[in-house]
Amino acid sequence: MSEPKKLFIKTYGCQMNVYDSERMAEALGGKGYIQVQTPDDADMILMNTCHIREKAAEKVYSELGRFKKLKEAKPDLKIGVAGCVAQAEGEEIMARQPMVDLVVGPQSYHRLPAMEEAVQQGKKAVDTDFPEEDKFDTLNKRPRATRGPTAFLTVQEGCDKFCAFCVVPYTRGAEVSRPKERILREAADLVEAGVREITLLGQNVNAYHGHEKGLAGLIWELDKIDGLERIRFTTSHPNDMDDALIEAHGTCDKLMPYLHLPVQSGSDKILKAMNRKHTRDDYFRLIDRIRDARPDLLLSGDFIVGFPGETDQDFEDTMGLVRRVGYGQAYSFKYSTRPGTPAAEKAQLPDEVMNERLQALQALLTEQQVATQNSMVGKEVSVLFEKAGRQEGQMIGKSEYLHAVHATAPAEVKGTIRRVRILESRTNSLHGELI
């Protein structure tokens, strides 16, 4: 019996890439690969890339340069680039870095086994198509091996919104939803393997239409699965937050009181320039309705500062929106151009202006996050314990509000939900005791 080949996958970007990397590993598992944690003795290295952040392609080429010595020491090592940078760059990756053996886009990774055969025969393999076949139909059924208590599950891909700053419609394609039957089957398999919490993923997850009643209908179907105790979803668009989904937040016990709902800017002028198709008042009304349904909801968001044309008043409108809404968690970034997007053609703001605004926004968001964490001290939360902490006898898990919680507890609590009283708020986490 031949020794298994070793596969190292480096994953960049969002949770959807984490899910995709798992499926890539499973697809190549059928070709005799086992996944390893370092690239040093791997037989194949896959970089699953993200194209959202600034200079994403250049960072990929820089990382490939670091793998060059490994390739020189082990000529049979195969190196592949997957994901959104692969989709955007295509054959240009091999032209700039000839040591790359395969390039595969995010909609084509189910073809990896055939591509692996080609590269083993000394050929180069490139596939950045948007294939007609459903990659999820083609992929092997997920293995039943024991898993950790949480898992991601992609239900929707692509986006039809065409925000002026975003490359997702070009790298992931149009919105596509997986049929509910396949999602429910995969979810049941995950639960049988030990998963207790599933996060439903999509570039625009609340635009899911694989169930006749949308994402809310899917959530209620998942609610019926014995052993599945928690449901989350990300990332959402305000325009697709329908009445049924709002109601589910108030009535479905398994749907956690945490919502990531990006707004990007608090200025109507900038929202229009971004092609977001909603106003700040639309967002306010939506948040009020969701909080009426679930008063203890912890809200998360995304913000871009320095979008072309943003004035001091536009930025102050964003700060005002943040003060009005109050976020328990949020992510903020300086605008960076993406070639091929409408905003890339517009005059860019000076970097020093963007830096100053980002610092001010992050200070306000941090203040709100700290206040939210401090408000948890003395309260009881439900924690799904996932792993051991660095200190002996300590376990770490997530509360229903997605806070990381540390507690002194036996290893046996892993994979279970326990009540915990919060004693202390720390940087980016909470400390508590079992009740």
Structure tokens at 391: 């200190």
Rounded Cα gap, residues 251 and 55, in angstroms: 43
Which residue carries 């009881």 as its tokens? 380
Bridge partners, 126 (sequence order): 103
Q: Nearest to residue 194, comparing CAs of 226, 147, 261, 235? A: 147
Angle made by CA atoms 82, 261, 278, in degrees to the nearest 5: 105
Bridge partners, 152 (sequence order): 199
Residues annotated within the binding site are: 14, 50, 84, 159, 163, 166
DSSP secondary structure letters along 252-271: -TTB-SEEE---B-S-HHHH
Residues annotated within the binding site for [4Fe-4S] cluster are: 14, 50, 84, 159, 163, 166
Rounded Cα gap, residues 424 and 217, in angstroms: 38
DSSP secondary structure letters along 102-130: EEE-TT-GGGHHHHHHHHHTT--EEE---
312 membership: H or E segment, kind and range: helix 312-325
Which amino acid does the sequence have at 223? D
8 Å CB contact between 269 and 314: yes
Q: Nearest to residue 322, comparing CAs of 272, 274, 262? A: 262
Q: Nearest to residue 105, comparing CAs of 89, 82, 126? A: 82
- Residue 124 CA: distances (Å) to CA of 27, 112, 121, 180, 319: 19, 12, 9, 37, 50
Q: Report the relative pairing of strands 176-177 and 156-157 from DSSP bridges.
A: antiparallel
Q: CA-based Rg of the chain, rounded to a whole angstrom?
A: 22
Rounded Cα gap, residues 217 and 89, in angstroms: 38
273 membership: H or E segment, kind and range: helix 268-273
